[in-house]
Structure 1
Amino acid sequence: MTDRQPEPDRDFEEVLAYLKEARGFDFTGYKRTSLMRRVAHRMSQVSIDSHTEYIDYLQLNPDEFNALFNTILINVTGFFRDPEAWEYLRGEVIPSMLGERGPDDPIRIWSAGCASGEEAYSIAIALAEALGPDAYRRRVKIYATDVDDEALAQARQASYTARELEGLESELLEKYFEAHDGRFSFRKDLRRTVIFGRNDLVQDAPISRIDLLICRNTLMYFTQETQAKILGRFHFALVPRGVLFLGKAEMLLSHTRIFDAVDLKRRIFRRAASGNGASHFVTHAFVQDRRIDIGGLDQLRELGFSASPVAQVVVTSDDVVALVNHQAEATFGLSGKDVGRPLRDLDLSYRPVELRGYVDQARLERRTLRVKDVEWARGPGDTMWFEVHVNPLVDSGNGILGVSIVFHDVSAARRLLEELEQANHQLEAAYEELQSTNEELETTNEELQSTVEELETTNEELQSTNEELETMNEELQSTNDELQTMNDTLRDRSGELDEVNGFLESILTSLRAGVIVLDLEMRVLAWNRGAEELWGMRRDEAEGMHLLNLDIGLPLPELRPVVRQALSDGSFTTEVKVDAVNRRGRDVHVRVVCTSLRSSTGEPNGAILVMEQHV
């Protein structure tokens, strides 16, 4: 199934072009229907009807950009949103992913489109539960990105209200959050592993060597062509057998094999070993990109390999040296004459580390090996440190083509560690000096003890005063008993109110028609099940929102005059019929009855909207 895009609106396209030119935000890949509705909603809020006039307004009011972006980039998220999918990820995918890696191998996670951070902290909690806090802090790095700077600023605070944490189990809430002034902050020792940054999935380079990539309900806002480009970048970002976790609303099928389905129902995929095969996750636009004929590609690959700043050697399945880049030649004294020779005949096979055993192991186990802390003394006073990666090169049939050996120079990092160790020694010396100072303070403390004894005498005098206060406390206690009696009476009345509220709630739930109850400021007080089924927005998402800020298919600007009249006239009642789009995206006719919500004195307290769909 392909996306059906509306005919392009030239004036609207000029707005998108201006946003890209002025602020670097490229929304041309977004679906036009949703995008035009949200831009029109923002224009109505500033009382502008023309796209050309809105461009002028943006030029004169720079603050309007942020308001527009907040309207376009709707950040709806939550902790462990869609619990069934998260439960499968925690119970099946994460244990399998950890089992494929060594006990000290780093784990790299990318949360793309992280909004206000709930998703990033959810995967942090899941991994901390699987690894334990100590191993988690040592091994895990979570990169959380978004294009919304305000959302990123909120996410960095790692502070949430009780309502925002409703989806979190009480045990996890107590274990991973600290309460302070009515809010809950994520644990600081684990917060340091989550790195937030701005990244535009359409324009910016992807983060590489990712083990698990989470991008839920973000691709749905892009066209098929843009989705294909993003999925290609995701494929590049993931390590072999890396996992992609998408939202339940995102499902694209075509004929190019770049992702294998792990669990199609829960939208969990694994990076495929090759780019060819049967019906898998990508769009046709990506297929067209792969068919572009690039001239001189073999020469380009060879030059790119040779120019790599990291020393690299590739051997065949028979341990014959096939490729050596310039950095490997300069570092280990190799040359073009060594190509074609068996690896065992080169000094490189045992210096700086015994390579043949690791090559055989990587070839046998079909997995990448990392050899850390490899020391090599090239000469007097010239010591280098390497981290060696031994990667098996596997074809589409899981056959071994060869092995790539990459030498990452970590000498600078090693020297920093040595300097850090020296700084730690200096810190220990300073601690000993601090200890001697502490002993002197203990002497001073004994002198203060005598002062305390004098204060104890004063305390006895205060004791007599305390007895007088106790007499006053008994009098207050009798007053408290009277207040308790009044409290019991209030509690009984509260129970009666709860029964009335339950009765009213059952009425709203039983009505098949959609019902919205508004206060005098047009904020939603009640949102029944009929409204949820008609517009696809849950009650907890709608209640407390301003009516005109609801992102539903009902043409709210057309209803605004009717609602305002109901809010000002306690006897007002009217009926209107409008064209709308229901939660399934279908065009429907809706009959809306708007009436004033009156107080006992007849004054308007709000408004009631009753909506029925007509076929």
Structure 2
Amino acid sequence: MNTPSRAEPDPGLEDLLGFIRDARGFDFTGYKRSTLGRRIRKRMTDAGFHDYADYRDRLETDADEFRTLFNTILINVTSFFRDTDAWSLLQDDVLPEVLADIPSGGEIRVWSAGCSSGEEAYSLAIMFAEALGVEESLARVKIYATDVDEEALREARSGLYQAKALEPLSTKLRDKYFEKNGAQYVFRQDLRRRVIFGRHDITRDAPISRLDLLVCRNTLMYFNVEAQTQIVDRFHFALRERGYLFLGKAEMLLNDGDRFEAINIRQRIFRRRPGAGSTTHTAAPMKIRPGMGLELQSATRARQLRDLILDATPGAVIALDPEGIVVMINNQARSQFGLTLNDMGRPFQDLEISYRPVELRSLVEQSTHEQRSLRVNTVERRLGDELQFFDILVQPISSGPGQPVATTITFTDVTVTTQLKAEVKRVREELETAYEELQSTNEELETTNEELQSSIEELETTNEELQSTNEELETTNEELQSGNEELETMNDEMRIRTTDLDEARAFLEGVVGSIAAGLVVLSGDMKVKSWNRGAVDLWGLRADEVLDEHFFALDFGLPTAPLREVIQQCIASGKRARPVVIPAVNRIGRKITCSVVCSPFNGHNGGVVLLIEEIDIDSGD
């Protein structure tokens, strides 16, 4: 069988993807072109554009259009414990193996890649809490939840869900892990702190390492073969030996049997094989030109001086390289947050300071992407019975045009005095009074929000159903068209045959009707199949009275007993019998003499044809 050739790339689409990558840092070039092109064209049509170049002009002048386009491309369909059978297998069979492979009290690292609005990450938190108990889970389990969609991540970080979203959970689990918050439910705060949300592109960014469980469900299906291969390489690097990989129903590791062992193919659960080599990530070597030694010594002294100055800075400062690796922690940061020099060189996302007292990873991503400083004021940090407040500044460091070469995070202690706290409390009471005045307006907004949320849930349900059937419809459409053409051809042939049969039937009926003598056709079981006009005139029985009736059971003027032997001989010999002369009484009661000729009938199920004709014995006819 010949393999169909791949479709030629659309230059307009490729140019648009390159523009999106360079302008916003979203690299969709690894996505399947059929799916990606269809979604981009849908958004272009909705925006009133039919040409890629015109739509690019719109993106250059309208920043909000990027957000709408990304929401169209990145379909976020998820739910708590989606595909119950797969999660049951993971919880009952796989999770005990994961826990058995980790030393008692050891850290358990989990990554939910493509977490969308967070249901999958919180499902993992619930699963581990049920297996270990909440207290042990808080001490040991760390769940990284990443996605490229900032809007989905904002929703995930809030941990707020409508009651309908929690329907997959039992009442016991819902009451144990969620608290009522107005018309919504919020995930319990202590476990929420163990789930670290951040923006991450699995096609470009360095993977999270030393994982015990990696969950990436129905995300690989959107990428082409080359991108999928690179992603699986990253996943293999991220997993420790015997670490587990949990994929979606639409995904499969067909060519990685040497690196991944299939635990359950139906539910898409795999385990990294022990001893399999992993893809390494090495930095590019530094190029040294002649005469560079003195410059390096001078640069080294300048760098040491800068390090000493930064180390003496009264504010806590942490510096990261473009890959998110910690390259500097000053003295104040080490003493303030319990860090050590050994933490330098580690991924920032592995440090507790990256998510406590506030989620910083997403701020670092946003600051680097937008190339601007971000500030978070009055962040609360509880240290035992002491309450501290910090202003946090995330600042990208650039050496010229292009991406920043580093990012600094500065913590300024703004812990208020007792008098200032009292003033803040007074202002807070005034704000609470104003809040009560705005309560009625807020209730109206909540009602509107619930209606919008209900519409969104219905659209998500419809979209999921359409997503699952769309490709099937596209696949079968051409088959239906081909079958329709064949049916039309067959219909034309049947119409011609019907016309021919109608003409043949009319001709035969004309021939049979034109025979003056009585013509009777009997089937093999001696039932009447034809009774012509001549027979009606002779005996007075209509055709509808005798059809399918046994011939020898009919009561009419012709004695049928003498014909029984003749008919049997005719059927047995297959030859026409000699005429048989039988006295009879016609339909008006007049005595007549009939000549009956019996011929074999070679039609359906055999039978005979009887030709009955009145004769005049006196005249010798």
> TM-score with structure 1 length normalisation?
0.48
Higher-Rg structure is 2
> TM-score with structure 2 length normalisation?
0.48
